């Protein structure tokens, strides 16, 4: 089992180019199933979740070629619509294959997906939407067995703006005759990215980024080369790291608009942030002031995927902060690990009260999920002494090798 060993106390200085967004790349890889041909995605991060999705696609009959940051998917050989539990349990995004498989093969059998244990993430919204399109679904023995041979274009109203359900329904509708309308859609940038990708392949999708998406059915899609949007969560994590450690950091290939909710929260008294079209520069000097309140919500509000990181920043900020988690009920699982490092955090249900301390102290801690694991690395970067972060396979799911990237920014970190 790999660990990170971090010697804290160094400033974060240098430049970093952000790769394609994990939460977009995984969905675009799933969408490659729609094409009886070849698709190349550029700028794909070297992370465990991308590897897992590629393994699933190969199991379905796709041919995968990776050349540096490019991933090429040849879907002409797809012969199976079944995703076994062994693969699905590694990756929650495997559920995104339901829509493409139903469009391509009219049948799909997917094991219930895995992923981080950050609370209940039911796929009922996905299944309810599919049923409204006429998909027949049987749930038994840990599998979701679907048949879309009688599916039809229709109107679907989502109970809440689920990103995954919105994406799955968009992909299910691309080949249905007529116009499908999806209401109460998620508005995240990854939804817009999927729309642009589908349209580049010949689909007719409109409305992404708003609450209503329309899909006019087409007969087929065509191969394409495409570059996904940059990863806003990775970018945000590094910005928070700069605020905690101090220094000057420039992020290239980033869309400031996608993380405007974070930029607005970072204290102006200690952090000077300059944004260009695809670049962010941050200069941080001195201890940050606490943010009075952070409350997660759907885009364009503050993202749940940055909640643990911003909470970690508050542990060393001057003052008291209240963090409210509205999306996943167990996002505070990393708090006990931060307490080992001297943090002062009190959790009551979905609310955490964070009283900043002058500094954290190195300790041996354990990652319990992807974003929580990244937050422990941030904590170790600014702590006094040595921090050991165990179970870093969680971090590998969404962040490229930190033991190679962070030293280039001045951080003393190694992987064993």
Q: State the Cα torsion 400-192-278-239 to the nearest 10°.
A: -50
Query: How large a percentage of the chain has pLDDT more than 70?
Result: 95
DSSP state of 361: B
pLDDT at 400: 95
Where does 22-226 sit in CATH, by number? 3.65.10.10
Average pLDDT over residues 48-73: 95
Q: What is the pLDDT of residues 125-166, one digit of tens each?
A: 999 999 999 999 998 887 889 999 999 999 999 999 999 999
pLDDT the model gives residue 33: 95
My answer on whether omega of the bond before 358 falls inside 30° of 0, hence cis, is no
Distances in Å between the Cα of 157 and the Cα atoms of 65, 144, 214 are 38, 21, 12
The yes-or-no answer on residue 185 being catalytic is: no
What token pair was written down for 333? 């699982």
* Structure confidence at residue 208 (pLDDT): 98
Phi–psi pair at 267, nearest 5 degrees: -65, 125
> Which pLDDT band holds residue 91 (cuts at 50, 70, 90)?
low
* pLDDT tens, residue by residue, 69-81: 999 999 999 988 8
Domains 4-18+230-415 and 22-226 share a fold: yes
Question: What is the 8-class DSSP label of residue 208?
Answer: B
Residue 344 confidence (pLDDT) above 90: yes
Write phi, then psi, for 409 (nearest 5 degrees).
-105, 5
Backbone angles phi, psi at 348, to 5 degrees: -135, 100
Secondary structure of 294-335 in HEC code, one letter for each residue: EEECCCCCECHHHHHHHHHHHCCCECEEEEECCCCCCHHHHH
At 120 the pLDDT is 40
Using one digit for the tens of pLDDT, what is the confidence trace for 229-256? Answer: 999 999 999 999 999 999 999 999 999 9
- Counting DSSP H helices and E strands in the chain, the numbers are 14, 24
Among residues 150, 191, 149, 141, which one has the least CA distance to residue 171? 191
Fold for 4-18+230-415, please state it.
UDP-n-acetylglucosamine1-carboxyvinyl-transferase; Chain (3.65.10)
The model's pTM: 0.95
Instruction: State the pLDDT at residue 190.
Output: 98
Catalytic residue selected from 32, 116, 284, 288: 116
Which one, of 114, 120, 172, 108, lies nearest residue 144 by Cα? 108
Whether 187 contacts 209, CB under 8 Å: yes
Q: Where are the domains of the chain?
A: 4-18+230-415, 22-226
- pLDDT band, residue 121 (cuts 50/70/90): very low
Per-residue pLDDT at 83: 80
- Reported as a single tens digit per residue, the pLDDT across 5-15 is 999 999 999 99
- Is 116's pLDDT higher than 60? no
Percent of the chain with pLDDT over 90: 88
pLDDT in tens, 347-374: 999 999 999 999 999 999 999 999 999 9
CA gap 289, 198 in Å, rounded: 44
CA-to-CA distance for 153 and 161, rounded, in angstroms? 20
Residue identified by tokens 């599919």 is 130
Q: How far apart are the C-alpha atoms of 65 and 173, rounded to whole Å?
A: 28
User: How many other C-beta atoms lie within 10 A of the C-beta of residue 177?
Assistant: 12
Interval 299-334: pLDDT, tens: 999 999 999 999 999 999 999 999 999 998 778 999
3-class secondary-structure state, position 97: helix
DSSP 406: G
Q: Region 101-112: what's the mean pLDDT? A: 89
Of the two residues 408 and 116, the one the predictor is more confident about is 408
Q: Do residues 148 and 107 touch, judged by C-beta distance below 8 A?
A: yes
User: Is the bond into 189 cis (omega within 30 degrees of 0)?
Assistant: no
Mean pLDDT of the chain: 94
Does residue 119 have a pLDDT over 60?
A: no
CB 353 within 8 A of CB 320: yes
pLDDT of residue 118: 39
Using the predicted structure, report yes or no on whether residue 122 has a pLDDT greater than 80: no
Mean pLDDT in residue range 27-44: 96
């Amino acid at each position: 089992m790999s660990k990170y060993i971090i010697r804290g106390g160094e400033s974060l200085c240098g430049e970093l180019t952000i790769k394609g967004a994990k939460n977009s790349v995984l969905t675009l890889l799933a969408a490659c199933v729609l094409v009886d041909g070849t698709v190349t995605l550029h700028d794909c991060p070297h992370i465990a979740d991308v590897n897992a999705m590629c393994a699933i696609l190969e199991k379905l009959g796709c041919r995968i070629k990776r050349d540096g940051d490019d991933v090429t998917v040849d879907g002409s050989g797809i012969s199976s619509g079944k995703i076994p539990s062994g693969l699905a349990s590694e990756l929650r995004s495997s559920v995104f294959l339901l829509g493409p498989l139903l469009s391509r093969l009219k049948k799909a059998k997917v094991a219930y997906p895995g992923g981080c244990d950050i609370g209940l993430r039911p796929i009922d919204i996905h299944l309810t939407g599919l049923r409204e399109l006429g998909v027949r679904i049987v749930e038994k023995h840990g599998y979701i067995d679907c048949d879309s041979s009688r599916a039809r274009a229709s109107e679907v109203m989502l109970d809440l703006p689920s990103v995954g359900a919105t994406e799955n329904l968009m992909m299910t509708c691309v080949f249905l005759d007529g116009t499908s309308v999806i209401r109460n859609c998620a508005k995240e940038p990854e939804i817009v990215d999927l729309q642009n990708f589908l349209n580049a392949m010949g689909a007719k999708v409109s409305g992404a980024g708003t609450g209503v998406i329309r899909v006019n059915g087409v007969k087929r899609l065509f191969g394409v080369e495409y570059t996904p949007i940059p990863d806003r969560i990775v970018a945000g994590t590094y910005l928070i790291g700069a605020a905690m450690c101090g220094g000057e950091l420039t992020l290239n290939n980033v869309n400031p608009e996608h993380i405007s909710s974070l930029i607005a929260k970072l204290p102006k008294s200690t952090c000077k942030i300059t944004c260009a079209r695809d670049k962010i520069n941050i200069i941080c000097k001195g201890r940050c002031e606490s943010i009075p309140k952070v409350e997660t919500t759907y885009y364009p509000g503050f993202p749940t995927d940055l909640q643990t990181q911003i909470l970690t920043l508050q542990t060393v900020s001057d003052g008291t902060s209240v963090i409210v988690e509205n999306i996943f009920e167990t996002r505070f699982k990393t708090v006990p690990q931060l307490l080992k490092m001297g943090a002062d955090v009190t959790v009551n249900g979905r609310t955490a009260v964070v009283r900043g301390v002058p500094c954290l102290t190195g300790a041996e801690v354990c990652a319990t999920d992807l974003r929580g694991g990244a937050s422990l690395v941030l904590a170790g970067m600014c702590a006094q002494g040595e921090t050991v972060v165990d179970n870093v396979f969680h971090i590998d799911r969404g962040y490229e090798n930190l033991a190679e990237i962070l030293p280039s920014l001045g951080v003393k970190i190694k992987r064993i």
